Amino acid sequence: MITPLAATVVTLSSCLSASAYFVSAAGNDSASGRSPAEPWRTLSHVSGKRLVPGDRVLLRRGDVWYESLTIPSSGAANDHIFFGNYGKGTLPKIRGSIAIAHWSRAGENVWVSRVKARDPSAGAPHDGQKAGANGEWPGGSWFEHADGRVTWGNQEKDWPSTNLTRAYDWVWHDGHVYVFCETDPHETYAAVHASQRQQCIHLNNREHITIDGIEMQFAQSKGVIERYPESELHDLVIRNCAVSYIGIKEGAAAYGLALWHSDCLVQNNVIHDCGRRGVSYNTYETRGVTYENVVFENNTFYNGYHTTSFDVSCGGTDTFRNFTFRNNLVYEEPHIHTDRPEGRPSNSIYFAGERARFEDFYVYNNIVYNSTNRAFLVSDVWRLHAYNNVFYGVNPRTKKSFNAMVQITRGSTHFCNNIIYGNKRGANYPLLLTPQGKLTKWLSRDHNLYFQDEASIRFISPYTMSQWASYTRTTGLDTHSPRPADPLFYVRADLHLRPGKRAPGDMFVTRDDFRLRPGSPATRAGMVVAGNETDMDGEPFGELPNIGCFASVGAKPKPKVSVETKERARPAARARRVAKPGAVMMWDGRLRERITATLAAGTKLSFYAQSMQQRVKVLEMDASGRLKARAGPVAMNIEWERLTFKERGGLSSAVSGDENVDDHLMTAFYYIAAGAEDAARGHVLRAGEFAAMLDDFFEEDD
Among 25-34, 150-159, 462-471, 596-605, which is the least confidently predicted range? 596-605
User: pLDDT class for 655, splitting at 50, 70, 90?
Assistant: confident
Position 557 scores a pLDDT of 62
Q: Mean pLDDT across the chain, nearest whole number?
A: 86
Res. 218: pLDDT tops 60: yes
CA distance 408 to 637: 31
**641 vs 519, higher pLDDT:** 519
Closest CA to 120 of 223, 194, 67: 194
Res. 3: pLDDT tops 50: no
List residues bridging with 575 in a β-sheet.
none
Local structure of 509: helix, strand or coil: coil
Each residue's pLDDT tens digit, 295-354: 999 999 999 999 999 999 998 999 999 999 999 999 988 766 555 555 578 999 999 998
Alpha-carbon torsion 687, 664, 669, 583, what sign?
Answer: positive
CA distance 21 to 633: 39
Each residue's pLDDT tens digit, 582-613: 788 888 888 988 898 888 888 888 888 876 67
H/E segment holding residue 684: helix 677-687
CA distance 295 to 324: 5
CA distance 551 to 540: 7
- Cβ atoms within 10 Å of 517's Cβ, excluding its own: 15
Res. 82: pLDDT tops 80: yes
Alpha-carbon torsion 144, 271, 257, 313, what sign?
Answer: negative
CA distance 213 to 18: 20
Closest CA to 611 of 641, 644, 588: 644
Closest CA to 378 of 400, 397, 404: 404
List residues bridging with 401 in a β-sheet.
none
Three-point CA angle 459, 463, 467, nearest 5°: 105
User: pLDDT class for 377, splitting at 50, 70, 90?
Assistant: very high
User: pLDDT class for 399, splitting at 50, 70, 90?
Assistant: low
**253 vs 661, higher pLDDT:** 253
User: pLDDT class for 70, splitting at 50, 70, 90?
Assistant: very high
Asked if 277 and 306 touch (Cβ cutoff 8 Å), the reply is yes
The number of residues making up the chain comes to 702
Closest CA to 321 of 351, 289, 361: 361
H/E segment holding residue 671: helix 661-673
Structure pTM? 0.78
Rounded to 10 degrees, what is the CA torsion of 357, 344, 223, 321?
Answer: -10
Mean pLDDT of 682-697: 79
Sequence-distant (6+) residues with CB within 8 A of 159 are: 171, 173
Omega of the bond leading into 72 within 30 degrees of 0 (cis)? no
End-to-end CA gap in the chain: 39
Position 701 scores a pLDDT of 61
Res. 248: pLDDT tops 80: yes
Closest CA to 417 of 549, 282, 517, 591: 549
